Structure 1
Amino acid sequence: MAGDPAPPTTSAGDLRRDLSGLDALELAGAARERSRLATVLGALWPKLLALALAVLVWQVVVWSGWKPDYLLPGPAAVARGMVDIVPTGEFASAVATTMRRAVTGFALAAVIGFVLGIAVSRIRVLRAALGSMITALQTMPSIAWFPLAILLYQLTEGAILFVVVLGAAPAIANGVIAGVDYVPPVLVRVGRNIGARGLGLYRYVVAPASLPSIVAGLKQGWAFAWRSLMAGELLVTIANRPALGELLDVYREQSDSLHLIAMMIVVLAVGLVIDALFGQVDAAIRRRWGMTGG
């Protein structure tokens, strides 16, 4: 109709501008993908290099003839042995049992360590009474707790969890105490000036500022928990509940060094995976605080 407005027209310049904008978005996305890939490769290649060097040293020791092959097999033989045991149902059950114990023990240790650490950091009497005792408990070898644990709980899950908690909780508590102690006083004063008091001060000021030390304490606590758990499973055998530590002892009794070393590598791999997870948490905290490089 004569009164209708003319349809809008798009000039060649507008079209080129829109296309260039789309190209820029696509290039930016590709650059982000390349940056992410470069970051992953940059974090991965040192670990792969260290692994290759360790395997090379292992193979050189085997070639030297220091021990016969049936006592110290080479990497290739152990890899074949790992292929033999990993797909089995017994191995899957052992991994499930060990990880369940590890998660349960570490969770209990984290709760106890957090409560103890916060109490000691806030109450001077407790710090004077328990501060050095917590450090002494942390230095206590976990294996030394097992005679008492077996007397208290016999050969049960309780004996293993008892030692795991005692091994990990002091390290977590020390991490909490150190984190609270090293909070800059200026942050506490600022928090009080804006009205933060009591638990609010700890929630919004002290806890975020002490988070790096708390994560470090959790990481160290996991290391103690994992070591204590392996020692416990070597000493405490529960019927119809295969575990990684128990399989280590079984292969040792059978003089089966091939599968023994393969199982040791599995234990090491679990530790490396958990360490990598804590590393990701630590990296996220540093990024959040702007402590990573530009």
Structure 2
Amino acid sequence: MILIIIWEVVYKVGVDVLGVWKSYTFPEPLSVIKTLGSLISDGSLIGAILISMRRIIIGYTISLVVGLILGLLIVRFKYLDENFSALILGMQTLPSVCWLPFAILWFGLSESSIIFVTTIGSVFAISMATEAGIKNVNPIYVKAASTMGAKGLKLYFNVVIPSALPSIISGMKQGWSFAWRALIAGEMLSATKGIGQILMVGRDLADINQVASVMIVIIVLGLVIDKFIFGALEKSVRRRCGLERN
């Protein structure tokens, strides 16, 4: 509520008093709320959210599986570590939107192209976090488990991976945020239905209130998912590791 009041004051001072901005370049809180209500009432926003959520769930799930496997392989095989770690880091720094021309050429203007961009946007962050988490496991844990007879896959899955989980979950959270960005960029540039498409329509119509409304929806969705999925998962892992009280 305080943020909305501050926002309204900034709008009144900047637009009505000082004339720093034009009314069509700076959103007003009340107009944004009205636009948001209109998008919800006509069903366009709800439909777009469902479509976008389906895409990101598919893309993120693929990136999660591929990223975890890739991270495990890099740690397991020294050749891959020496030759692919730097490449993966370089790929991670590459903006996801750069992959969109490839996606369109390979898959056309289809659902698959957006899912591909979403997947490629998060897979490297997850693999890097998996690699770093396993490499930074305290050697004492491994030695202690080895003295008690744990070895091979049993040592790996019962000691190493559980110890690396906090780092892996952090990478999963980062990967989710990258996947969101890639998804919105893909939907904006491929002109297909989804949250990004509504954002693009607002830009084309010079409707700053619609643009602000969609931005708020994206932020809210991100916060909800972080709190109820990743937050709960992180809390559970911390409790199992003795870092948080029940």
Per the normalisation by structure 2, the TM-score is: 0.92
The CA distance in 2 between the partners of 1:102 and 1:111, in whole Å, is 14
- Identity, % of aligned pairs? 37
Note the 1:123-138 alignment, pairs <5 A: 123-138=77-92
How big is the shift at 1:200?
1.0
Residues 1:87 and 2:41 aligned together: yes
Higher gyration radius (CA): 1
The CA distance in 2 between the partners of 1:134 and 1:234, in whole Å, is 26
1:173-209 alpha-carbon deviations (Å, 9 max, x no partner): 0111111011111111122222222211111001110
2:230 aligned residue: 278
2:141 aligned residue: 187
The residue identity in structure 2 corresponding to 1:287 is R
The CA distance in 1 between the partners of 2:89 and 2:225, in whole Å, is 24
How big is the shift at 1:145?
1.2
Task: Report the number of matched residues.
Answer: 240
How big is the shift at 1:293?
6.7
1:141 aligned residue: 95
Residues 1:288 and 2:246 aligned together: no
The CA distance in 1 between the partners of 2:215 and 2:99, in whole Å, is 23
How big is the shift at 1:58?
2.5
How big is the shift at 1:83?
1.2
The residue identity in structure 1 corresponding to 2:214 is M
1:44 aligned residue: none
5+ residue gaps, structure 1, are: 1-50
Note the 1:1-294 alignment, pairs <5 A: 52-53=2-3, 55-63=4-12, 64-65=14-15, 66-238=20-192, 242-276=193-227, 277-292=229-244
The farther-off stretch of 186-195 and 218-227 is: 186-195
The CA distance in 2 between the partners of 1:52 and 1:143, in whole Å, is 35
Give secondary structure in 2 for the equivalent of 1:183. Answer: coil
1:74-126 alpha-carbon deviations (Å, 9 max, x no partner): 11221122111113222221111100001000000000001000000111011
How big is the shift at 1:267?
1.1
1:119-166 alpha-carbon deviations (Å, 9 max, x no partner): 001110110011111111111111111112111111111211111111
The CA distance in 2 between the partners of 1:52 and 1:127, in whole Å, is 50
| Change beyond 3 A, Cα 1:101–1:178 | same
The CA distance in 2 between the partners of 1:179 and 1:272, in whole Å, is 25
The farther-off stretch of 59-68 and 100-109 is: 59-68
The residue identity in structure 1 corresponding to 2:223 is L
How big is the shift at 1:284?
2.2
The residue identity in structure 2 corresponding to 1:278 is F
The residue identity in structure 2 corresponding to 1:281 is L
The CA distance in 2 between the partners of 1:71 and 1:274, in whole Å, is 30
The CA distance in 1 between the partners of 2:22 and 2:40, in whole Å, is 25
The CA distance in 1 between the partners of 2:213 and 2:38, in whole Å, is 10
5+ residue gaps, structure 2, are: none
Give secondary structure in 1 for the equivalent of 2:41. Answer: coil
